[in-house]
Structure 1
Amino acid sequence: MATSLLIFEDNNQLRQSLQLLLNDGMFFSVKAAFENCLRAAEEVLLHEPDLVIMDIDMPGRSGVEGLKAIKAVRPATKIIMFTVFDDDEQIFECICAGADGYLLKHTPPARLMAALQEAMEGGSPMSPQVANKIFHYFRQASKPAPDYNLSEREKEILQLLIKGNGYKMIAAECFISLDTVKKHLKNIYTKLHVSCGTEAVAKALKEKIVAV
């Protein structure tokens, strides 16, 4: 059975080209195509497509909002973002909103058709540039935290500081004196190259220096 499609694309020429390309009756069947996604959720409920091709930059309502609206009412429908935007913010916003794939508009027709089939088989097709950005992001996120040579006690105290504990509470939790807490914190500030507890907490969270 052919995969049923809806297309949301404001460029008339591209929208018509996509309809001609994909409405082959064998692999794909285009149920309808729209120049905006103002009624995206309603159209999806009406046509019950297997797959949606969604532009991002459209008048009245962005494709990201259209994506969210569709996933809210029919999460099983696969949605492929088809756009000129390859910036990090757009890519990750779409992925977090539930997009099943992200293709750039210079994708060759044969690759587009293969990507749509891939999505229906459970894959998450992406243009190479998009995939590279995602891999780069996760490589950056998985880098080990900088080693500031904190002792285990200093890490413990820093964790307690991050959780909002005051000096007295830290002293009680660690079974040490208030003066000892102050000495440890002074050493922590020196090692982290900060001047106060607020800066230490901010740096620890940003650089994932300790587990929280």
Structure 2
Amino acid sequence: MQIKVAIVEDQRDLREMLGILINGSPGFACIGTFADAEEALLKISDTSPDVVLVDIHLPGKSGIQLIAQLTLQMPNTKFMVCSSLEDDENIFNALKAGANGYIIKSSAPVKILDAIQDVYNGGAPMSSQIARKVVAHFNPRSQDHAEFNKLSPREKEILAYLAKGYRYKEIAGFLFISVETVRKHIQNIYEKLQVGSRTDALNKIGGKSILF
């Protein structure tokens, strides 16, 4: 039994290359290729694919919009993003839209075939760099570091003194700056972390351990 694959990709060379790869591999068959979302919406359901490879950056509707629509029309079909985009917004929007996997276009051919097989079997294949972003998103410690890294080196230094219980005047003396400058830095820290107190700031970054 062959896995029937459809491709939605606006770059002609890549679209043809993927089709040749799939048709030339035992157990796979490319049953349709489409250059944009509009064409796919009109024709893809007639091909009854098991797996659809979808690029995100398409002319007209995006691949994310396409996935959101097709998952309603084709609930038994698996959708896998095949894109060069690696930013958090596109990754999570694609997954929220219904994508079952997400691989990078530059992946080796064998990786693409393995991912198609995996998603067909019920898996959620992702290129390693995509998987790391997904894991980090749900890892509280990673989120703590993300909040902490919003701060400048000087702000981190001042927050460390605050965590130790020092007053503004003492911090100003340690750093050879004015009390007013310390106050402005602390105000910036609170604004960046969207908090209103020293305690809340430390809680937002995951506690004192991240500072020392």
Normalised to the residue count of structure 2, the TM-score between the two structures is: 0.66
Counterpart residue number, 2:41: 41
Name the CA distance, whole Å, in 1 between partners of 2:140 and 2:91. 16
Q: How does 1:59-70 map to 2 (within 5 A)?
A: 59-70=59-70
Shift of 1:76: 1.3
Structure 1, gaps ≥5 residues long: 145-191, 195-202, 208-212
Structure 1 segment 160-199 matched on structure 2, within 5 A: 193=196
Q: Tell me the amino acid that sits aligned with residue 61 of structure 1.
A: K
CA contact (8 A) 1:40 1:69 kept: no
Question: Residue 39 of structure 1 aligns to a residue in which SS?
Answer: helix
List alignment gaps of at least 5 residues for structure 2. 145-194, 205-212
Q: How does 1:107-118 map to 2 (within 5 A)?
A: 107-118=107-118
Cα distance in 2, alignment partners of residues 127 and 25 from structure 1 = 21
Aligned to 2:32: 32
CA RMSD between the two structures: 2.4
Moved more, 14-23 or 133-142: 133-142
When residues 135 and 48 of structure 1 are mapped into structure 2, their CA distance, relative to the original with a 3 A threshold, is: same
User: In the alignment, does 2:97 pair up with 1:87?
Assistant: no
Give the match's secondary structure for 2:38. coil
Whether the 8 Å contact between 1:54 and 1:81 is mirrored in structure 2 is: yes
Residue 100 in structure 1 maps to residue 100 in structure 2: yes
Contact 2:78 2:119 in 1 (8 A): yes
Q: Secondary structure at the match of 1:4?
A: strand
Per the TM alignment, residue 193 of structure 1 is displaced from its structure 2 partner at its CA by 3.5
Bigger CA radius of gyration: 1
Aligned length: 152
> How far, CA to CA, are the matches of 1:74 and 1:82 in structure 2?
19
Q: Deviations over 1:75-134 (max 9, x none)?
A: 210011000100000000011111010001110001110111011111100000000001
Report the Cα distance in structure 2 between the residues aligned to 1:41 and 1:55, rounded to whole angstroms.
14
**Identity, % of aligned positions:** 32
